Amino acid sequence: MASTAPAEKPARPKGWKLLRIALQKRKSATMLGFGFSSGLPYALLIGTLNAWLGEVGIKLATIGVLSWIGLSYSFKFLWSPLVDRFHLPLLDRLGRRKSWIILCQAVLILGFAGLAATNPVTSIGQFAIFAFIAALASATQDVAVDAWRIDVADEESPVELLSAIYQFGYRIASIVGGALALLLAARMTWGSVYLLMGVLLALIMIVTLRAP
């Protein structure tokens, strides 16, 4: 009796082909948007903001103190249990994770608008407050996005794949919030640049609303 050979499994796609196939799925495409939403504020608040302050003549000591807003990302574990357990009134019908993400994105847009409307030369204190609020919202958004990624992961969209797509979106945002923002600042005011970045985040809010 002739033995039947086991059927060979189709080769798993790799590289750009795997990315293209993954982004056809709703969860993965949403993860790309969330990665962008996380990376953009970090680039704008930690790096690009210092370039803005340096260009307008703010003292290095003041810029150094203002850079402490980056500690929000280091200490976000302190309030992550609150994000995990607390249900936001009204917004909670979107889902616990989505409600926190949409709230943080709204605060980020307002924070960028506040930075755009404030002259750091004459109102550095107010400027610092807007930067701190935006950094706090950005760090909190990272907590909620990490939780969402774990919640929606399944066999079709494993957490490893979602994490890789998140990093891809994050790196794209780093380029937009870094190199592209600096390029735009050479052609328009810094306030206009941050308003434009706020518009990009507003578009990501649409992705958040449609997220599973």
Place of tokens 């919202």: 137
Distance, CA of 194 to CA of 43 (rounded, Å): 12
Q: b/e string for 179-204 if b means 16 or more Cβ within 10 A?
A: ebbeebbeeeebbebbbbbbebbeeb
pLDDT greater than 80 at residue 10? no
At 9 the pLDDT is 54
pLDDT of amino acid 154: 83
- pLDDT tier at 70, thresholds 50, 70, 90: very high
pLDDT of residue 92: 84
pLDDT digits (tens, 9 = 90+) for 121-176: 999 999 999 999 999 999 999 999 999 999 988 887 888 989 999 999 999 999 99
